[in-house]
Amino acid sequence: MTTVHEPATAADLLVWPASAAEPVRGDLTVGGVPLAEVAGRFGTPVYVLDEAEVRDRCRTYRDAFPDAEVLYAAKAFLCRAMAHWTAEEGLGLDVCSAGELELAVTTGFPPERIVLHGNAKSPHDLDAALRLGVGRVVIDSPAEIARLAAAVGPDGHQRVMVRVVPGISAGGHEKIRTGTDDQKFGLSIADGHAQYAIARILDQPQLELTGLHCHLGSQITSVKPYLVAVRRMVGLMARLYEQHGLVLPELDLGGGHGIAYRPGEAALDLTALARKVRAELADSCATAGLPLPRLIIEPGRAIAGPAGIALYRVLSVKHTGGHVFVAVDGGMSDNPRPALYGVRYAPRLIGRPGSAERARVTVVGRHCEAGDVLAADVELPADTRPGDLLAVPVAGAYHLSMASGYNLVGRPPVVAVRDGLARLLVRRESLEDIRGRDVGL
């Protein structure tokens, strides 16, 4: 009896790019390109980025927030192509280092549409920002005020914002919650440090304070924390008006918009967020007697994450102590997130059908670390074997950007797919690259 294979359903591919399809059993395509073909051509591990998915997600944000300034958070993932795509789609850029800034500007990204933030900006970061003409610098500590004012000089001018801690706990893990008073970012409203910093900035004529900035955390799936943030930030803006006669034209609510990594997981409802934030901002400003500031938001993961796939080659399948470990040719050097945050993924066998019978396995990496686990307790075909290909969806954010040189294996390449074509965006880090940096003899 022949078993008829049903093509992958929408539910099966819920967390994959919209272009994902299974035209032939076991052969998954993204952007019209078979993923097995990408692995064969570029090797593994390899990141695959769906250009159309990136662009579509940029447009979704522009449509949801037509009157806001949308900045792509470059820390999620940045390369020259990504900077080019986001610029073409009308987004600005949020960067946190001279490296991210210089790569974007030398690619042609307009510097006036770039915001530089970070809790500990180096002199090099600030010098690059001023030299390249960055649009705004987000002040994160009192020490930055004096350093930036001195770097600008008495005849210079730089637009700045202040990162405020609104005292809100939100986010998918304690290590990525940044809106509370017990972490390194920003200046607290509760203890008065934010108000003190703002008063100091107003005493620096070369620094123009354009607005307030806050960022609550990452992987937030509820709208409510953002509404609380709006109320607290507008409350501070009202006090600044009373004390200084200051009317700030901008309010940056950061990003942190949660996405689903596996089918069935919660994600932030962008339509609801946009509608409720606009309503809350209008109500809060009306109550305070303030004009509406221009809203700024900073999505990163929500644009890049679902557009990326990581491909690995299975190296071994080991049965140990009642567990099945499927080891692949990558690991925590190209995706440290499971080790850092306990993130769970849904890998899939590609390139061949695999058996109908399923087995519960743990997908592990190649590195000398017991915590090098890519996907714990997941189902794969029972006949998964060395040489097979595994694809991990939702791998576009905080993979390559957080990749390391652990065990000197080299960081994977990035390949873009669109309209049936695949092209290299970032080449694989070679042993020659690694050796070339080592000048100790």
Residues belonging to the active site: 368
> Hey, which residues does 135 pair with through a beta bridge?
none
At 374 the three-state DSSP class reads strand
**Which pair of structure tokens corresponds to residue 400?**
């390559």
Kind and range of the H or E run holding 71: strand 69-73
CA distances from 215 to 114, 179, 212 (A): 17, 6, 11
**Which pair of structure tokens corresponds to residue 158?**
């730089």
CA distances from 398 to 57, 136, 176, 307, 335 (A): 17, 24, 12, 12, 8
β-pair type (158-165, 187-188): parallel
At 4 the three-state DSSP class reads coil
φ/ψ (deg, to 5) at 118: 140, 145
CA distance 409 to 368: 12
φ/ψ (deg, to 5) at 132: -90, -10
CA distances from 362 to 179, 265, 367 (A): 34, 20, 15
Peptide bond into 338 cis (omega under 30): no
At 326 the three-state DSSP class reads strand
Residues in the chain: 441
CA distance 132 to 130: 6
Angle at 419 between CA 417 and CA 420, to 5 degrees: 70
